């Protein structure tokens, strides 16, 4: 009788290569494990075969044989429950080094090649366990004089994963440095042509130099952010040292810090995976329902885990698990629809919530205080809801029209049962995190507007509660995205400085007057902002694009009599459009986390263009609603 999910889980916990994984990581791996029955006398793999998987023995006895040149067979080992075999050929990318045959009836857990190599990349413990096993084998062989294991095995394994990380071209970085240096040179050496508005020019040129350096990345982003503070002070733009770092002392900064902290705890808790499993088990295997469920899940996760990158990393493997459970062919139309629904849900919907992403908060904090107060969490969500609905429906229709998938088969249940068994009943920590996140959201919705408490304070309270409940140590704190937090602090200070220099007013009045001259007023302006966002996103990453566009368009909106929130929402709605995949790391994560098996970049590109059209059309369709509620 095949082992039950609970037995398989207990076995996995004893196997050294996966023993170092925590509950959530093991549950994620479990979606790639498939039980396989072995009958006495049958070979699982033959020496010289091409390798595609690793096998963990759940039950039974297995013998390892090598063949000599004369065709003789030599038994070199016997393996039992908890042992594994088939790792050598995967590591060396060579044919199987031995034949493994079942001596009794038994059961194996089969882990496919890709998942095994990924496990080695992600889990240092796994690499060490394999190295130890190989070293023991070598030692035994040396003592017995048998041929040695290729020395490259572990090296190959350790090296194999780096391909995911995009590397920036050196030439681009060099061009960035030269361009930035030129601008900085102008700031410090040229004064004549800028007389009258010297501080404003210096501020703007330094900002452009910083954007160039952020994009071309000759040094890490945080170095550029901190360098900007020194440059502002050095260029004497009339700001006090305190003002140049005031963003770090603001409630908005505390908000983003706390939200990132809560997000980390949520991602580690297993809560999200449980939600995903529920989705797979409860939603009938009908593609439109499954895709809609993925979009909705992504949207629900957005305020709970306000980092598109983290959401993509969670939902993409889930969509892969569903595709596997449904036995969909790789990159088939149905796989593409499923995978891209998961991405659409977890990525571009940041615009629906004030805390959908740190960039939403950044854009929000660039509006004047009275607009910030107008758009609290609830009002923001309500005002953006029609747009979200249109985008969701529009994208689902577009995916089905673009890929024309067929109907689905009945899902395979074993991997799901094993995943559930590994996760076990909700742990105390998981329940606590769930309650705290719910309480924090209620805080945003009820406490903030009723008692006029700054949202940052509610978020900080939530973070402290999570820190206590999950015993968050200083090491965990170090894992926050400090580069973004530093960037964000500088952005917030920037807003203060720009206001002090009256730059917002200058930009607003000049650009606003020009737009009015050519007949672009309220509704057209919102669409124009959306189009400008698509354009700017072609060459700038989301964070910097959203920052620049917000700095430019918020004051213009004001001077055109349009509520600046509409400019913000147009920027955010198209801010994660991903027509240039390399410019959207969140999309790259979604693609990589689904192992590139659900859709190719070329398949995704069609959906990407569809998103731009759907986004812009939906913006247009929402205008009457926004007019009705007095925003235009």
Binding site residues, ligand CMP, CB under 6 A: 45, 51, 64, 76-77, 85-89, 96-98, 100, 137
Residue number, 75 or 413, with CB nearest to ligand CMP: 75
∠ CA 327-328-330 to the nearest 5 degrees? 125
In the bound complex, what is the minimum distance in angstroms from residue 17's beta carbon to ligand CMP? 12
CA proximity to 38, closest of 51, 57, 53, 54? 57
Task: Report the residue closest to ligand CMP, judged by CB.
Answer: 89
Give the number of C-alpha atoms closer than 13 A to the C-alpha of residue 431, restricted to the C-beta side. 5
Q: Going by DSSP bridges, is the β-strand pair 62-67/99-102 parallel, antiparallel, or unpaired?
A: antiparallel
Residue number, 86 or 512, with CB nearest to ligand CMP: 86
Residue number, 113 or 368, with CB nearest to ligand CMP: 113
Q: Where are the alpha helices (DSSP H) in 190-220?
A: 198-216
Distance CA 224, CA 209 (A): 9
Residue number, 137 or 579, with CB nearest to ligand CMP: 137
Q: What is the DSSP string of 409-465?
A: -PPP-HHHHHHHHHH-SPPHHHHHHHHHHHHHHHIIIIIHHHHT--HHHHHHHHHHH
Residue number, 57 or 391, with CB nearest to ligand CMP: 57
In the bound complex, what is the minimum distance in angstroms from residue 111's beta carbon to ligand CMP? 12
Distance CA 166, CA 534 (A): 22
Name 84's bridge partners.
56
Distance CA 27, CA 300 (A): 22
In the bound complex, what is the minimum distance in angstroms from residue 150's beta carbon to ligand CMP? 10
Residue number, 35 or 95, with CB nearest to ligand CMP: 95
Residue number, 87 or 543, with CB nearest to ligand CMP: 87
Q: Tokens 């990525």 identify what position?
A: 347
Distance CA 360, CA 352 (A): 9
Q: Which residues, including other chains, have CB under 8 Å from residue 311's CB and lie 6 or more apart?
A: 298, 301, 302, 305, 346, 347
Ramachandran quadrant class, 401 (left: phi over 0; alpha: psi -120 to 50; beta: rest): alpha
Indicate the DSSP class of residue 17.
Answer: H
Q: Which residues, including other chains, have CB under 8 Å from residue 72's CB and lie 6 or more apart?
A: none
In the bound complex, what is the minimum distance in angstroms from residue 337's beta carbon to ligand CMP? 36
In the bound complex, what is the minimum distance in angstroms from residue 74's beta carbon to ligand CMP? 10
In the bound complex, what is the minimum distance in angstroms from residue 64's beta carbon to ligand CMP? 4
Residue number, 113 or 597, with CB nearest to ligand CMP: 113
Give the number of C-alpha atoms closer than 13 A to the C-alpha of residue 75, restricted to the C-beta side. 8
In the bound complex, what is the minimum distance in angstroms from residue 46's beta carbon to ligand CMP? 9
In the bound complex, what is the minimum distance in angstroms from residue 126's beta carbon to ligand CMP? 15
Residue number, 76 or 511, with CB nearest to ligand CMP: 76
Tokens of 400: 């089905």
In the bound complex, what is the minimum distance in angstroms from residue 161's beta carbon to ligand CMP? 19
Residue number, 64 or 326, with CB nearest to ligand CMP: 64
∠ CA 215-221-225 to the nearest 5 degrees? 110
Tokens of 250: 């603001």
Tokens of 466: 């999570």
Distance CA 99, CA 66 (A): 6
In the bound complex, what is the minimum distance in angstroms from residue 583's beta carbon to ligand CMP? 40
∠ CA 613-615-620 to the nearest 5 degrees? 95
Residue number, 44 or 465, with CB nearest to ligand CMP: 44
In the bound complex, what is the minimum distance in angstroms from residue 96's beta carbon to ligand CMP? 4
């Amino acid at each position: 009788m095949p082992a039950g999910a609970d037995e398989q889980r207990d076995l996995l916990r004893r196997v050294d290569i996966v023993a170092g994984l925590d509950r959530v990581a093991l549950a994620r791996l479990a979606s790639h494990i498939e039980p396989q029955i072995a009958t006495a006398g049958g070979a699982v793999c033959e020496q010289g075969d091409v390798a595609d998987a690793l096998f963990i023995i759940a039950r039974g006895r297995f013998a390892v044989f090598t063949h000599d040149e004369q065709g003789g067979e030599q038994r070199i080992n016997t393996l039992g429950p908890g042992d594994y075999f088939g790792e050598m050929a995967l590591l060396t990318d060579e044919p199987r080094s031995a034949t493994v045959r079942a001596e009794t009836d038994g059961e194996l857990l089969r882990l496919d090649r890709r998942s095994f190599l990924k496990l080695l990349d992600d889990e240092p413990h796994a690499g060490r366990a394999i190295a130890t096993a190989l070293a023991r084998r070598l030692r035994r062989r040396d003592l017995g004089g048998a041929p040695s294991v290729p020395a490259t095995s572990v090296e190959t394994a350790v090296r194999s994963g780096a391909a995911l990380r995009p590397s920036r071209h050196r030439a681009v970085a060099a061009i960035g440095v030269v361009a930035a240096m030129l601008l900085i040179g102008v700031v410090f050496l040229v004064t004549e042509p800028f007389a009258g508005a010297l501080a404003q020019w210096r501020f703007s040129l330094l900002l452009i130099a910083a954007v160039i350096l952020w994009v071309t990345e000759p040094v890490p982003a945080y170095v550029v952010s901190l360098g900007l503070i020194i440059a502002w002070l050095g260029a004497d733009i009339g700001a006090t040292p305190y003002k140049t770092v005031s963003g770090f002392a603001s409630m908005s900064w505390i908000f983003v810090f706390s939200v990132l902290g809560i997000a980390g705890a949520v991602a580690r808790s297993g809560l999200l995976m449980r939600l995903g499993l529920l989705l797979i088990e409860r939603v009938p295997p009908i593609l439109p329902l499954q895709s809609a469920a993925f979009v909705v899940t992504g949207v629900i996760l957005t305020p709970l885990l306000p980092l598109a990158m983290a959401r993509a990393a969670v939902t993409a493997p889930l969509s892969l698990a569903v595709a596997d459970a449904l036995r969909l062919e790789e990159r088939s139309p149905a796989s593409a629809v499923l995978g891209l629904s998961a991405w659409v849900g977890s990525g571009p919907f940041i615009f629906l919530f004030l805390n959908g992403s740190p960039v939403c908060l950044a854009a929000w904090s660039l509006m004047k205080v009275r607009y910030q107060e107008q758009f609290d969490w609830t009002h923001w969500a309500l005002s953006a809801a029609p747009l979200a609905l249109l985008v969701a429906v529009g994208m689902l229709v577009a995916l089905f029209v673009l890929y024309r998938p067929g109907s689905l088969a009945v899902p395979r249940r074993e991997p799901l049962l094993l995943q559930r068994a590994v996760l076990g009943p909700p742990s105390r920590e998981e329940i606590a995190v769930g309650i705290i996140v719910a309480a924090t959201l209620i805080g945003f919705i009820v406490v903030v507007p009723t008692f006029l408490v700054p949202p940052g304070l509610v978020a900080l309270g939530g973070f402290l509660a999570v820190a206590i409940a999950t015993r968050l140590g200083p090491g965990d704190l170090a894992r926050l995205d400090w580069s973004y937090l530093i960037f964000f602090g500088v952005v917030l200070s920037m807003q203060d400085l720009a206001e002090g220099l009256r730059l917002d007013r200058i930009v607003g009045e000049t650009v606003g007057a020009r737009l009015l001259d050519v007949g672009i007023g309220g509704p057209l302006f919102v669409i124009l902002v959306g189009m400008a966002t698509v354009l700017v996103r072609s060459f700038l990453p989301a964070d910097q694009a959203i920052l620049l566009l917000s700095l430019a368009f918020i004051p213009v909106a004001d001077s055109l009599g349009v509520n600046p929130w509409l400019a913000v929402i147009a920027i955010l709605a198209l801010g994660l459009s991903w027509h240039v995949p390399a410019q959207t790391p969140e999309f790259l994560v979604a693609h990589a986390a689904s192992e590139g098996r659900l859709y190719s970049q070329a398949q995704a590109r069609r959906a990407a263009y569809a998103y731009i059209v759907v986004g812009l059309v939906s913006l247009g369709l929402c205008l009457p609603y926004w007019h009705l509620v007095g925003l235009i």
